[in-house]
Every structure is written in C-alpha cells, then in structure tokens.
C-alpha cells in the first residue's frame, strides 16, 4: 500500500514571498513524522495546504491515494489538532464536540474513554467554552482530532500549554494511534518531544526539505546523538 499522505512538488507564493519551493513529503502508515524547521520555514503553509486552507500554486497532495481537489470529502480521513484553537464563546464543550461530530457525518464516535484519559469531565464539558482555560480547550482540540481514528493525523504543537500529566497522556495516545496504523504528522518546538515521539524527521528551511529520514539517519548524518544538537547541526549546515 502506498503512503496515506503524499505531497509532491508543492509550491506556494504569497505575493513575492516564496513560502514553499517544491516540497516533497510522504507520511508512512504507522509512523510519526516530525516536521521541524526554523520560524517562517513554511511549516504552517504546508499543513494548511494539506488541510485545504491554502491553495497551492503547483504540486499535488494525495490522501489515501486520491489527489485532493475542491471536494472536501478527503478531510474525513484527517484528524487535525490546531496550535491554538478558539471556539464559539457561548457554546458548551459538549455542543462543540457535537457540532464537529455532526459535520463529519456518520455515527457519533465513542470517545468517552478518550475524554476521560485527557481529564475532560462531564462537568467541565457542560460549561461554556469561554470559561475554560487554554489548556482545557487544548484537550478539547485533542479529542476532536483523535476520536475519529482517522488514518492521517496532523498535530500542530499538540502539547503546548498542557500540564505534564496530560501532555504525557496525549503523547501516549499519539503513540497508540501510530501503533494501530495511523500516519502522524507532528510539529513541535520541543526537541525532546520529537526525540520521544517521532520515527521520521522532516527538516524544512526556506520552503525546501533539507533533510528527511529516520532519527537514526539524522544521528548518523550529523554525528550527534541528541536530536536537538543534530538539528542545530543541520541549521548551521544550511546557513
């Protein structure tokens, strides 16, 4: 079977600024791929292109073997957790979850175990979203992303703002999803987290992929054992 998500030759320009200059990335099933790069490297634009939020100028994106176009149907196969979500102020957590399940169609997912493992109680979810803390909203986003058991998961800084306990639960959940065959794309500024979670690392600079391979290949290539140092090595190499 081919990779669940294949990005090839992706280009995007905003005005005169070239953000993506021919990006090729493939996510394999059952693996966590970390997308790493300095600020303004094009990480967000790449993720937004996959989600259909940004229309690329050239190149293709295929999800489960189908090249994506205007039809939004393919997004059924993607679970997405945004970096900092904001929800309609006056809705309760339950209502937000119900709306998002409804928009996906099909049966309402059985996510009670998931809610519990992230520490979202029925009491919390009955409150209006505006009264929830940033971390609690982040947990809500995690439930929305994970509960459909989508074959492709895109997690943008998933643990930012979470307490250590929830953060470790979430990482455990991500590992579980990968183990059951999901292809996971993850961005993070915490290299320890990348080291802990990722199988593969894609290093993006100025809209180009400068390194793509397993963490072991990265260590071999840079001669550094720690991922953080290896990345620093790559950054110097490119500069």
Instruction: Choose between 134 and 213: whose C-beta lies nearer to another protein.
Output: 134
The one among 6, 99, 173, 215 contacting another protein by CB under 8 A? 99
User: Could you tell me which stretch among 84-92, 164-172, 217-225, 227-235 binds another protein (CB under 8 A)?
Assistant: 84-92
Do the beta carbons of residue 9 and residue 207 sit within 8 Å?
no
The one among 1, 17, 103, 113 contacting another protein by CB under 8 A? 103
CA distance 84 to 139: 11
At residue 154, the 3 state secondary structure works out as: strand
Do the beta carbons of residue 204 and residue 42 sit within 8 Å?
yes
**Whole-Å CA distances, 7 to 59, 71, 197, 199, 202:** 8, 17, 22, 18, 12
Contact track, another protein, 177-216, x by CB under 8 A = ----------------------------------------
- 52 lies in the binding site for another protein (CB under 8 A): yes
Sheet holding 5-14, edge to edge: 17-27, 5-14, 58-63, 66-67
User: Could you tell me which stretch among 22-30, 72-80, 159-167, 186-194 binds another protein (CB under 8 A)?
Assistant: 72-80
Contact track, another protein, 116-135, x by CB under 8 A = ------------x-------
Q: State the minimum distance, in angstroms, from the CB of residue 81 to another protein.
A: 9
Neighbours of 162 (CB within 10 A): 21
Q: State the minimum distance, in angstroms, from the CB of residue 227 to another protein.
A: 28
CA distance 23 to 215: 20
- 239 lies in the binding site for another protein (CB under 8 A): no
**Bridge pairing between strands 78-81 and 152-156:** parallel
Q: State the minimum distance, in angstroms, from the CB of residue 219 to another protein.
A: 34
Instruction: Choose between 64 and 191: whose C-beta lies nearer to another protein.
Output: 64
Neighbours of 33 (CB within 10 A): 23
Binding site residues, another protein, CB under 8 A = 12, 14, 48, 51-55, 70, 72-76, 78, 80, 82, 84-91, 95, 99-100, 102-105, 128, 141, 144
């Amino acid at each position: 079977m081919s990779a669940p998500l294949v990005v090839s030759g992706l280009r995007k320009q905003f005005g005169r600024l070239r953000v993506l200059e021919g990006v090729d990335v493939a996510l394999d099933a059952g693996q966590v791929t970390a997308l790493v790069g300095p600020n303004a490297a094009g990480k967000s634009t790449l993720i937004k292109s996959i989600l259909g939020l940004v229309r690329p100028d050239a190149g293709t994106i295929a999800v489960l073997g189908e090249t994506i176009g205007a039809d939004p149907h393919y997004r059924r196969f993607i679970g997405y957790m945004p970096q900092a979500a904001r929800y309609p102020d006056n809705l309760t957590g339950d209502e937000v979850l119900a709306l998002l399940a409804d928009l996906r169609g099909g049966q309402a997912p059985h996510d009670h175990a998931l809610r519990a493992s992230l520490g979202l109680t029925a009491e919390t979810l009955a409150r209006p979203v505006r009264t929830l803390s940033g971390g609690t909203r982040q947990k809500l986003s995690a439930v929305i992303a994970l509960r459909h058991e989508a074959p492709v998961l895109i997690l943008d800084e998933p643990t930012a703002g979470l307490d250590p306990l929830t953060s470790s639960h979430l990482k455990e959940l991500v590992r579980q999803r990968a183990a059951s065959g999901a292809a996971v794309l993850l961005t993070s500024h915490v290299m320890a987290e990348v080291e802990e979670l990722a199988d593969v690392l894609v290093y993006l600079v100025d809209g180009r992929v400068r390194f793509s391979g397993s963490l072991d290949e990265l260590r071999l290539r840079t001669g550094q054992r720690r991922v953080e140092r290896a990345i620093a090595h790559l950054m110097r190499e490119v500069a």
